[in-house]
Amino acid sequence: MFRYLLSRLLTFLPTFFGVTIISFAFIRMLPGDPIIVMAGERGVSEERYAELIQQFGFDQPIWRQYLDYLGGVVQGDLGQSFVTKKPVWDEFFALFPATLELSICAMIFAVALGLPAGVIAAVNRGKLFDRTLMSTALVGYSMPIFWWALLLIIVFSGMLGITPVSGRISLLYYFDNPSGFMLWDALVSDQKGAFWSALHHLILPTIVLGTIPLAVIARQTRSAMLEVLSEDYIRTARAKGLAPGRVNGVHALRNALIPVITVIGLSVGTLLAGAILTETIFSWPGIGKWMVDSIFRRDYPVVQGGLLLIAVMVMIVNLTVDVLYGLINPKIRKR
């Protein structure tokens, strides 16, 4: 297991450098001069422009700029935002909990509904529930996030007026947010109703962000279960006299989880992509919104550093999934 982990870590290195190149190149390929954009309506004098060019190192050849950037990255320095002048690193970790909170909720939503739905569909293969669920999943999977979010907002916030449309908590509440996780901080803040308000604000973003993973997990669970249910060992389990709940929920599900775990891991990438849109729609102050804002401001260090950190997060999640995969599949663990 240890050697396996080490070898996985080694394969991260090329990916890591690849991401530094891509994120570096990506933001520079966008049209628009960062200094002009920063100056905005006021414009900028020629002397000041030349000064800034030098200050940001844009007068250097491009490979030089990249090496400077890489040199910083290797030492753990991601630079400072052009706009706020704060280190990218600090900004990221101030905002990341908001995204993490939303992503975790979306994932819990997707897994908590997707797993049982897939299991029930497989057990009732071809029956009404199965067919309804699978067509719904297909719709959910192909739903454009933006459109889906607007639809939910119109129905639940506009027509029914039961959910807030933006932010993380009602403005009535104010307390320190040391952990960055609103639910947790609200819970320990001792302010009556704060927790519910935070939870309330999470509902729509969670549904919007969790819909695609939900559809993917339900479909994958169903197909994995169908495959497993025809195995000999399921017949053995039933021949023991075990109840269907135990046969399906323990003997079959445990085997079906192996491919499902992989899919859950893969959908973390999708989730982060979805978070960018979801956060923008719901004014959710997380890294998704931060990235979008920074792209519009041509805030090179933030975009580069943010992309890199997101990529590292995805890699860490994938590694965790690999470990989990080994734990759940004894054939891999003992190898």
Partner 1 sequence: MPLLDIRNLSVDFATASGQFRAVDGVDVNVDTGDILAIVGESGSGKSVSMLAMMGLLPWTATITADVMSFGGQDLRGLTPRQRRKIIGKDMAMIFQEPMSSLNPCFTAGFQIKEALRLHLGLDAKERHAKAIELFEMVGIPAPEDRLKAFPHQLSGGMNQRVMIAMAIACSPKLLIADEPTTALDVTIQAQILDLLTGLQRETGMALILITHDMGVVAETAERVQVQYAGQKVEEQPVGDLFETPHHPYTAALLAALPERATSRKLPTIPGVVPGQFDRPMGCLFSPRCQFADDRCRNTPPAPCGPELGLARCHYPLNAKAEATA
Written as six digits, the tokens of 312 are 């590292």
Written as six digits, the tokens of 53 are 């060019």
328 contributes a contact to partner 1 by CB under 8 A: yes
- Tell me the residue type at 270: T
Rounded Cα distance, 28 and 42, in Å: 23
Q: Which is nearer to partner 1, 131 or 240 (CB)?
A: 240
Q: Which stretch binds partner 1 (CB under 8 A): 101-109, 138-146, 172-180, 325-333?
A: 325-333
251 contributes a contact to partner 1 by CB under 8 A: yes
221 contributes a contact to partner 1 by CB under 8 A: no
Rounded Cα distance, 226 and 122, in Å: 6
Q: Which of 36, 240, 316, 320 binds partner 1 (CB under 8 A)?
A: 240
Q: Which is nearer to partner 1, 106 or 229 (CB)?
A: 229
Rounding to the nearest 10 degrees, give the CA dihedral for residues 199, 204, 207, 212: -140
Q: Which stretch binds partner 1 (CB under 8 A): 67-75, 89-97, 180-188, 241-249?
A: 241-249
235 contributes a contact to partner 1 by CB under 8 A: yes
Instruction: Report, in Å, the least distance between residue 233 CB and partner 1.
Output: 4
233 contributes a contact to partner 1 by CB under 8 A: yes
Instruction: Report, in Å, the least distance between residue 108 CB and partner 1.
Output: 24
Q: How many CA atoms lie within 13 A of 101 on its CB side?
A: 26
245 contributes a contact to partner 1 by CB under 8 A: no
Neighbours of 184 (CB within 10 A): 16
334 contributes a contact to partner 1 by CB under 8 A: yes
Q: Which stretch binds partner 1 (CB under 8 A): 22-30, 85-93, 290-298, 327-335?
A: 327-335
131 contributes a contact to partner 1 by CB under 8 A: no
231 contributes a contact to partner 1 by CB under 8 A: yes
Rounded Cα distance, 312 and 19, in Å: 9
232 contributes a contact to partner 1 by CB under 8 A: yes
Rounded Cα distance, 255 and 198, in Å: 37
Report helix angle 300-328 to 287-296, nearest 10. 150
329 contributes a contact to partner 1 by CB under 8 A: yes
Continuous H helices in the chain: 2-29, 34-39, 46-56, 62-74, 88-123, 128-142, 145-152, 182-188, 194-229, 232-239, 244-246, 253-281, 287-296, 300-328, 330-333
Taking residues 174 to 213 in sequence order and writing x for each that binds partner 1 by CB under 8 A, - otherwise, the string is: ----------------------------------------
243 contributes a contact to partner 1 by CB under 8 A: yes
Query: Given the rule CB under 8 A, which residues bind partner 1?
Result: 231-233, 235-244, 251, 254-255, 328-331, 334
